[in-house]
Structure 1
Amino acid sequence: MLGEERITTYCGLDCAKCDYKEKYNCGGCVATKGNPFHGKCELASCTISKGKRFCGECEKFPCELLNKFSFDKEQGDNGVRIENCKKLKNEFVKEGREGLNPVCYCGLNCDFCFLGQWCGGCRSDYNCCSFATLFEDKKCPNATCCNEKKIKGCWECDELKSCNKGFFKNDNAFTMKAYCLLIKKYGEQVYSETIKNAVANGVDYAKDFDALGSTEKVLEALEKYRK
């Protein structure tokens, strides 16, 4: 898994700089599976129970519990561990997405997703797709389906227009299908350039196309921004 050797604590503290490491011969937070010198850690237990490697990978980051520890009047660090988690997560996202196709299986574009700083993308080694977390296996049905059919994306599927899997069950399914239909017609590069042009002209990628209400209207709007 990407960056495993850089994760020494669950909450973002720096083991190497901890004053207690040598004093109490502490093996470290992750190395002891959340049982450092002072005993079982509540934050570590929470992270492990959710199947995360560190707090920064959690959908609820920064949660109430992490804030409680980080801003504790006696033992807190005034938010340093939270910032460390953000920094580490951003590094993983950047490395995970480097050189990869930003167009997701469903037609979304990672470069303009509001969670782009949180997720490496469904094609990366650092896939933290928030939609996938809704499912028991933590896998997006659209990505799974495309991989099973050995196709690059939903736009290559003959069942696209009638499909109701994964993202296509949502209220804004018509927007996703419009993206896929545009890709099917012009290709991924033209689609990405179209979205880039739309955003440059003030379009809110996460909201404005959804507000149009139908696949036909979204396609019509996209055509206006296609170069």
Structure 2
Amino acid sequence: MSDATTQARSKTSAGTMSGKTIRPDEAAHFGRLAKDWWDPKGSSAMLHRLNPVRLKFLRDAIDLHWANDIEARKPLAGKSALDVGCGAGLLCEPLARLGADVTGVDAAPENVTAAAIHAESAGLDIRYMAGEIGTIDIGAFDLVTAMEVIEHVADKRAFIAALAARLAPGGLLALSTPNRTPQSRLLMVGAAETFGLIPRGTHHWDDFVTPEELGELLDEAGLDMGEPTGIAFSPSKGLHLSDDLSLNYLVTARAR
């Protein structure tokens, strides 16, 4: 990445843009992956491995937030869910199966097209839309998720504000993102892209967000962040929830 590009990313990440969060180059990058997003051995294979870990975190957070029966098959029945940066629907479909009325929004039109086709083939009624989350009039939702998204947006402050604006009273926000640490630089950018575990150009380490930074952004938006949970890797466990935040982490947030 050139110095000029790095400076531009740092500037927009600080919130100096006019509220636009989509980076056209990022949207184009992920749009090119749309055709094989659902292939567990394709370019999104790492997301397929990550999804069960995210879902375990989400299920626990949902049950705790709404005091659900942990054995319930549809803990989101009667509730609405919005997944921002939904890609081709890897998280939207499980949320629908948990009973939610689901909407997915993504920056890349190719992704929402692939998502809609896959949902229809699976017999799931999910609404998909492409565009800027801060400008789409879609109302408020009980659950809002944005998994592995904030590190790709142009204006992080505007993005968090847009997520907060979509949260219904008493709702729950859940996010995940890589942490900006030496470990994530070595493994998530260097090793993962070098060895083809994720497509080259997917991550830019300077855009990773620390838990402290994310907490400040959420606080500015009137949200209280819960205790972060790490996503770690070991040869014996694979990807798993952990106290180790050095690579990746998940958080929930609620309006004050």
What is the TM-score when the length of structure 1 is the normalising length?
0.29
**Larger relative helix fraction:** 1
Q: Which has the larger radius of gyration?
A: 1
Q: If the length of structure 2 is used for normalisation, what is the TM-score?
A: 0.26
